[in-house]
């Protein structure tokens, strides 16, 4: 086992990984694998890249070329499909006739007589929308939305990816024009104005001015001031036991007299701050694990800046996962380690586990992946932002700054759920005058991080665009890795309403690894489904275990076979861990002897 040196702050200043020479950076192909994989140098045309980076400021980072190609593909194929056009004309005439008939008998018709909102559409769920004329306005909007969905999908010959981009674009434009977004056509806003004498508009104006001032000053929303890192969130007691230029490794204090001998390492995503799994005490997974008698370590990633532009994806493996495993091995020697990876951290952990298995490194006792993808061919609507044109555009934008800004990543995720994260919030804050509710999860969500240029380019190209990991082309230290080398028992969690890592995409781990896989599908979304404390009501899950030599069961068949269990998935997972852990023993030491100058949890990097 390799020895990792501890660098106390007092002995050695922290430095980012050294930047590569400018000539080397200019010649290196953006987004290629590690240097040993670069086939040849390619001219980068810096003036073109500077132009694209400037253009990105006016387009929100969306490539206008990618959008134009998608609309051209869709429009050309629709223009060459006369029968499809006739069918669309027939549908609009049918919908118009049904709507006019409903409008003529509006006082006698049952609400939603022509079309109903989908179950996940919460814009028109209140009873005020069942009264005329608001019900007719809502139905007219829903009919328009349905017609445009039919018009932008199912076009023979057009690329499915391009059709998805056009359909997504039209949906964003229509969502902006929904009657729920305007005071005169929203019965809830009108009722609130009548009851308050118009005070809701005054409060809405105050909310707008407050948000504008905070946007211009760069400060956080006022509702998040009550969630302070280290006091109300990320407050589990512990100690930073190791630090390098990329991570701080936190070891949490035990809360039981005896603990399981095998420690747990948490590898979070570095798209956001690490403490998603250590929010408030009542919903902290870290606190729950220590209460169950586990020794817990967690990686806290450093927030990169322009000086870290050449930090590679593999640096996160070496300076993150592997450095953490080495340190834990010194604190708790000769023990297997339960490793947990969340979201992008789970993808990184799966790569590290495959490389370790290839090299005969058997330190991992189990591997747990939470909402983490290892195959990106069906990665949901996030793939709309990932094609050659869009990736090149993002690379040029990052090339100028040295990193992907926090607002760019947050904006992409908000567009995926624009009704909930954009328009409903604007209606609530500025029309109803209520202000946004605060929560620890929302405060964490606003505490975003930057992504280094090289790392993010490699991630987009190798994993999203080329799917190298799933197809056996991904290389670690100049040699290919395969997930099929993993024989360690795995616990994999997907979330039912995940818009970032769709559960059917996460489910593909079944035919990628040669290991026993316990797959659990829980209610909720990418974040709320994972943060599911046992005392919180409304959670449920399904779970089944597939032995390594058992026949494969498809996702749809699995959904029918797996029994449903009410409650949180956390106890199910800790029972699984306990069954694969040894007898209770005395807690290990906190950190290493002689490691001085390191702070208490949550450390310093979380504040950067």
SS3 state of residue 326 = helix
pLDDT of amino acid 7: 36
Backbone angles phi, psi at 584, to 5 degrees: -60, 150
pLDDT digits (tens, 9 = 90+) for 379-400: 877 777 788 888 888 888 888 8
**Single pTM value for the model:** 0.87
pLDDT of amino acid 52: 84
Residue extents of the structural domains in the chain: 65-177, 238-405+450-607
Catalytic (active site) residue 343: yes
**Sign, CA torsion 496/501/502/506:** negative
pLDDT of amino acid 35: 53
pLDDT of amino acid 413: 62
Exposed, middle or buried, 579 (CB in 10 Å: 0-12/13-18/19+)?
Answer: exposed
- CATH code, 238-405+450-607: 3.40.50.1820
**Sign, CA torsion 479/483/486/489:** positive
The answer to whether 493 touches 522, Cβ cutoff 8 Å, is yes
Report the alpha-carbon distance of residue 391 to residue 62 in Å, rounded: 10
Residue reference for tokens 């009873």:
127
pLDDT digits (tens, 9 = 90+) for 45-59: 888 888 888 888 788
pLDDT of amino acid 317: 98
Residue reference for tokens 């068949």:
557
pLDDT of amino acid 448: 83
Looking at residue 105, the DSSP 8-state letter turns out to be: T
pLDDT of amino acid 54: 86
The answer to whether 429 touches 503, Cβ cutoff 8 Å, is no
Write out the DSSP string of 427-494.
IIIIIS-------HHHHHHHSB--EEHHHHHHIIIIIIIS-TTTTT--EETTEE--GGG--S-EEEEE
Q: Which two tokens stand for residue 487?
A: 């024989």
Catalytic residue from among 38, 209, 343, 478: 343
pLDDT of amino acid 410: 61
pLDDT of amino acid 394: 85
Backbone angles phi, psi at 337, to 5 degrees: -125, 130
The list of the chain residues with pLDDT below 50 reads 1-34, 37-42
Q: Which two tokens stand for residue 95?
A: 């919908």
Strand partners, 301: 247
Name the residue among 62, 78, 80 with its Cα closest to residue 148.
Answer: 78
pLDDT of amino acid 21: 37
Name the residue among 266, 238, 257, 259 with its Cα closest to residue 338.
Answer: 266
CA–CA distance from 204 to each of 198, 363, 370, 424, 442 (Å)?
A: 10, 56, 38, 13, 20
Count how many Cα atoms sit within 13 Å of the Cα of residue 174 in the half-sphere of its side chain: 17
């Amino acid at each position: 086992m390799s020895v990792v040196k501890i660098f106390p702050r007092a002995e050695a200043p922290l430095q980012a990984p050294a930047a590569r020479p400018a000539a080397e950076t200019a010649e290196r192909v953006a987004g290629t694998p590690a240097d040993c994989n670069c086939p040849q140098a390619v001219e980068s045309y810096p003036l073109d890249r500077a132009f694209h980076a400037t253009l990105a400021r006016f387009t929100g980072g969306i490539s206008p070329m990618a959008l134009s190609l998608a609309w051209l593909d869709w429009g050309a194929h629709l223009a060459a499909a006369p029968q499809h056009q006739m069918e669309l004309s027939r549908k609009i005439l049918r919908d118009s006739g049904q709507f006019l008939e409903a409008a003529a008998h509006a006082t006698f018709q049952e609400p939603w007589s022509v079309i109903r909102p989908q179950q996940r559409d919460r814009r028109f769920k209140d009873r005020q929308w069942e009264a005329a004329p608001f019900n007719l306005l809502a139905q007219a909007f829903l009919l328009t939305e349905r017609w445009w969905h039919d018009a932008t999908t199912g076009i023979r010959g057009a690329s499915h990816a391009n059709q998805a981009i056009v359909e997504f674009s039209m949906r964003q434009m229509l969502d902006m024009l929904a009657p729920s977004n305007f005071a005169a056509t929203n019965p809830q806003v009108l009722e609130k104005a009548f009851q308050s004498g118009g005070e809701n508009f005054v409060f809405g104006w105050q909310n707008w001015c407050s948000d504008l001032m905070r946007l211009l000053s760069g400060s956080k929303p006022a509702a998040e001031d009550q969630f302070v890192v280290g006091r109300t969130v990320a407050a589990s007691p512990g100690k930073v036991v190791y630090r390098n230029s990329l991570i701080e490794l936190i070891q949490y204090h035990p809360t039981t007299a005896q603990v399981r001998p095998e420690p747990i390492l948490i590898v979070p995503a570095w798209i956001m701050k690490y403490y998603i799994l250590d929010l408030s005490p009542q919903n902290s997974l870290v606190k729950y694990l220590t209460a169950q008698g586990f020794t817990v370590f967690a990686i806290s990633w450093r927030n990169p800046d322009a000086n870290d532009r050449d930090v590679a994806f593999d640096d996160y493996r070496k300076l993150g996962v592997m450095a953490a495993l080495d340190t834990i091995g010194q604190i708790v020697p000769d023990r297997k380690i339960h490793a947990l990876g969340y979201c992008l951290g789970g993808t990184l952990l799966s790569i590290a586990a495959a490389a370790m298995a290839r090299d005969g490194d058997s330190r991992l006792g189990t591997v747990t992946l939470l909402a983490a993808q290892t195959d990106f061919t069906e990665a949901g609507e996030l793939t709309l932002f990932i094609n050659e044109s869009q990736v090149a555009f993002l690379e040029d934008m990052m090339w100028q700054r040295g990193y992907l800004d926090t607002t760019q990543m947050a904006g992409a995720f908000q567009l995926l759920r624009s009704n909930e994260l954009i328009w409903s919030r604007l209606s609530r804050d500025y029309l109803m005058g209520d202000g946004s509710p605060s929560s620890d999860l929302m405060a964490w969500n606003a505490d975003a991080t930057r992504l280094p240029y090289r790392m993010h380019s490699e991630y987009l190209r190798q994993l999203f665009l080329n799917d190298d990991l799933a197809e056996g082309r991904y290389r670690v230290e100049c040699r290919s890795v395969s997930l099929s080398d993993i024989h360690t028992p795995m616990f994999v969690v997907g979330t039912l309403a995940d818009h970032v890592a769709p559960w059917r995409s996460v489910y593909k781990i079944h035919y990628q690894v040669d290991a026993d896989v316990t797959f659990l599908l829980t209610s909720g979304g990418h974040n709320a489904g994972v943060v599911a404390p046992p005392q919180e009501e409304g959670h449920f899950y399904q779970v089944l275990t597939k032995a390594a030599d058992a026949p494969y069961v498809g996702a749809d068949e699995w959904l029918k076979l797996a029994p449903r269990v009410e409650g949180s998935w956390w106890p199910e997972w800790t029972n699984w861990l306990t069954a694969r852990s040894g007898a209770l023993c005395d807690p290990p030491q906190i950190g290493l002897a002689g490691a001085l100058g390191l702070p208490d949890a949550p450390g310093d990097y979380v504040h950067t």
